[in-house]
Amino acid sequence: MTITITAFERSPDGGRGLSRDTRVRWALEEVGQPYEVRLVSFQAMKEPAHLAIHPFGQIPTYEEGGLALFETGAIVFHIAERHAGLLPFDPDARARAISWMFAAVNTVEPPVLELVTVKILEGDKPWAQERLPLVLERIRVRLRQLSARLGDAEWLDGAFSAGDLMMVSVLLRLRPSGLLDEFPELAAYVARGEARPAYQRAYAAQAAVAAAVREGG
């Protein structure tokens, strides 16, 4: 059955790999599953046809036969559960990898998203400049803890897993801020993720969409 995912017709990041479809593309590349992409405009994302698949009007979604899924973490997990390569076979190691998936989206990503709030959503507000250091410090608390746990290990818990895929993807959002450079172990960890051939293919695929948009005007 064909796997179809959705992605931004015009990604707000201009193809720098920060849109969440990159995480799903990466997972599909890691397990060697081909997929098709349906591009969705900002307007179409809020219309009934898309909302029927994604109640919050976002991308990515995942369709395969009669199954329609939303929410990046759930889609990556679904792929990891059905194909070898993203979750350990040992049940305890598998449960720990899933802990890291949830840690990425529920413990590390919320403070990271505050950076979007303070810089973009509230970038024109009088308090933006004064708030920024507070937001950065809350992110640093998490990065310090994550860095302490990772140490000089290659991945968070044994072999590369869907937990690393999600965590690296969340940390990548921090690169423009310079925060990653304060934590050399984490910067190296993210670089190891980006160096994976599957990530490279996923990145190239999403960048090609943005390039086509630019060329097409």
- Tokens standing for residue 116: 């979007």
CA dist 201 → 35, 64, 153, 207 (Å): 12, 21, 25, 10
Number of residues that bind a second copy (CB under 8 A): 47
Contact present, 165 and 76 (Cβ < 8 Å) = yes
The interface with a second copy within residues 45-84 (CB under 8 A) comprises 51, 55-58, 66-67, 69-75, 77-78
Contact present, 199 and 169 (Cβ < 8 Å) = no
Residue 117 within binding range of a second copy, rule CB under 8 A: yes
SS3 string, 90-149, reads CHHHHHHHHHHHHHHHHHHHHHHHHHHHHHHHCCCCCCHHHHHHHHHHHHHHHHHHHHHH
Residue 113 within binding range of a second copy, rule CB under 8 A: yes
The interface with a second copy within residues 138-157 (CB under 8 A) comprises 138, 142, 145-146, 148-149
Residue 109 within binding range of a second copy, rule CB under 8 A: yes
DSSP 161: -
Find the shortest distance in angstroms from Cβ 111 to a second copy.
9
Q: Which of residues 132 and 213 has its CB atom nearest to a second copy in the complex?
A: 132
Find the shortest distance in angstroms from Cβ 44 to a second copy.
16
Residue 95 within binding range of a second copy, rule CB under 8 A: yes
Find the shortest distance in angstroms from Cβ 18 to a second copy.
15
Binding region for a second copy (CB under 8 A): 51, 55-58, 66-67, 69-75, 77-78, 92, 95-96, 98-103, 105-107, 109-110, 113-114, 117, 121-122, 125-127, 130-131, 134, 138, 142, 145-146, 148-149
